[in-house]
């Protein structure tokens, strides 16, 4: 679907958030309609294609390519009016592409409550929220941009499904100290199998799961400047409850280095 790229005006954004909060049964249709109204949006004078994506990485690249083709629009990357319009306009396509809903087909969309989830911030990048990392459309793009120099290192933030980012994204993207650089690469090595590009089996099982990861780095935050450390140093630094995962991570790291 190619449409004119627009942004919400402030009132349009407010209406959009009200819709997400009230979750009417025909939410998706109402959101699509709102996004198309001149009264609540402002055209940017360029088109944007909003194709179906399942992978966060594919979606991130698509938006990144669009900004590259439209360099004068890059300032909109900082605008919640832009991200909310994109999310609203893309909602139907992304939801229909989600493997959990694909069997439902085009006849009946899933219940609005399921799409929005318990937190409307998944579709609305509101100012001041501490849940901005949960925004399903902007977060993959920001994850890519923050790790542009080592995209493979950000696989933990990019490999999962757009509509269901999962626990690793929640733990790693949710803390600005973890979501880029060597700490992000460490999380990728621990929780993603680089040979398949997918999360390792039992990645969320204790010990050494993503919860333990964020607890550990939270604990040493006052003592060690881990942001400035290399991924090898960080692997050495991890405590023994990460032992089995560290072994897998080192093996993947060795393979990666041999390949490059």
Enter the tokens of residue 249.
């991570």
Looking at the Cβ atoms of 148 and 198, the one nearer to other proteins is: 148
Looking at the Cβ atoms of 11 and 251, the one nearer to other proteins is: 11
Subset of residues 20 to 79 that bind other proteins, contact rule: CB under 8 A: 42, 78
What is the Cα–Cα distance from 194 to 132, expressed in whole angstroms? 28
What is the Cα–Cα distance from 157 to 167, expressed in whole angstroms? 10
Looking at the Cβ atoms of 180 and 209, the one nearer to other proteins is: 180
Looking at the Cβ atoms of 97 and 187, the one nearer to other proteins is: 187
Task: Enumerate the H helices of 7-131 as residue ranges.
Answer: 10-22, 27-36, 56-69, 80-97, 112-116
201 and 186 in contact (C-beta within 8 Å)?
no
162 and 136 in contact (C-beta within 8 Å)?
yes
**135-143, 164-172, 194-202, 207-215 -> range binding other proteins (CB under 8 A):** 135-143
The answer to whether residue 10 forms part of the interface with other proteins (CB under 8 A) is yes
Contacting residue, 41, 89, 139, 182, with other proteins by CB under 8 A: 139
Subset of residues 146 to 165 that bind other proteins, contact rule: CB under 8 A: 146
Contacting residue, 1, 3, 4, 14, with other proteins by CB under 8 A: 14
Looking at the Cβ atoms of 130 and 196, the one nearer to other proteins is: 130
Q: How many other β-carbons are positioned within 10 Å of the β-carbon of residue 52?
A: 17
Give the gyration radius of the chain's Cα atoms. Answer: 19
Looking at the Cβ atoms of 130 and 240, the one nearer to other proteins is: 130
User: How far does the chain reach from its first CA to its final CA, in angstroms?
Assistant: 38
Looking at the Cβ atoms of 17 and 96, the one nearer to other proteins is: 17
SS3 (DSSP) at 131? coil
Enter the tokens of residue 34.
């709102």
Nearest distance, CB of residue 65 and other proteins, angstroms:
19
Nearest distance, CB of residue 145 and other proteins, angstroms:
8
Q: Which residues contact 171 (CB under 8 A, 6 or more apart)?
A: 178, 187, 210, 211, 213, 214
What is the Cα–Cα distance from 227 to 221, expressed in whole angstroms? 9
In the beta sheet, which residues pair with residue 191? none
Nearest distance, CB of residue 189 and other proteins, angstroms:
19
Subset of residues 102 to 131 that bind other proteins, contact rule: CB under 8 A: 126-130
Contacting residue, 227, 241, 253, 256, with other proteins by CB under 8 A: 227
What is the Cα–Cα distance from 46 to 65, expressed in whole angstroms? 14
What binding mask, one character per residue, do residues 164-203 give for other proteins by CB under 8 A, x or -? ---------x--xx-xx-----------------------
Enter the tokens of residue 233.
């140093």
The answer to whether residue 133 forms part of the interface with other proteins (CB under 8 A) is yes
**Which residues of this protein are in contact with other proteins, per CB under 8 A?**
9-11, 14, 42, 78, 80, 126-130, 132-133, 138-139, 142-143, 145-146, 173, 176-177, 179-180, 222-225, 227-229, 233, 237
């Amino acid at each position: 679907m190619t449409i004119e790229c627009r942004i919400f005006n402030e009132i349009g954004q407010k209406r959009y958030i009200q819709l997400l909060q009230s979750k009417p049964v025909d939410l998706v249709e109402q959101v699509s309609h709102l996004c198309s109204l001149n009264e609540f949006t402002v055209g940017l004078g360029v088109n944007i294609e909003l194709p179906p994506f399942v992978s966060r990485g594919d979606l991130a690249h698509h938006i990144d390519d669009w900004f590259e083709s439209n360099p004068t629009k890059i300032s909109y990357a900082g605008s919640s009016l832009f991200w909310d319009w994109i999310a609203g306009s893309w909602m139907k396509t992304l939801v229909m592409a989600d493997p959990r809903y694909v069997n439902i087909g085009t006849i009946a969309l899933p219940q609005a409550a399921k799409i929005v989830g318990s937190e409307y911030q998944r579709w609305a990048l509101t100012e001041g929220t501490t849940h901005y990392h949960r925004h399903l459309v902007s977060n993959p793009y920001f994850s890519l941009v923050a790790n542009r120099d080592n995209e493979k290192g950000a696989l933990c933030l990019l490999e999962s499904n757009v509509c269901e980012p999962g626990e690793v994204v929640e733990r790693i993207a949710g803390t600005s100290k973890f979501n880029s650089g060597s700490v992000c690469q460490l999380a990728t090595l621990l929780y993603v199998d680089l040979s398949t590009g997918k999360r390792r089996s039992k990645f969320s099982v204790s010990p050494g799961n993503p919860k333990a990861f964020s607890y550990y780095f939270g604990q040493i935050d006052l003592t060690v400047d881990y942001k400035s450390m290399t991924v090898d140093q960080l692997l050495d630094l991890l405590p023994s409850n990460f032992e089995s995962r560290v072994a897998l991570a080192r093996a993947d790291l060795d393979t990666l280095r041999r390949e490059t």
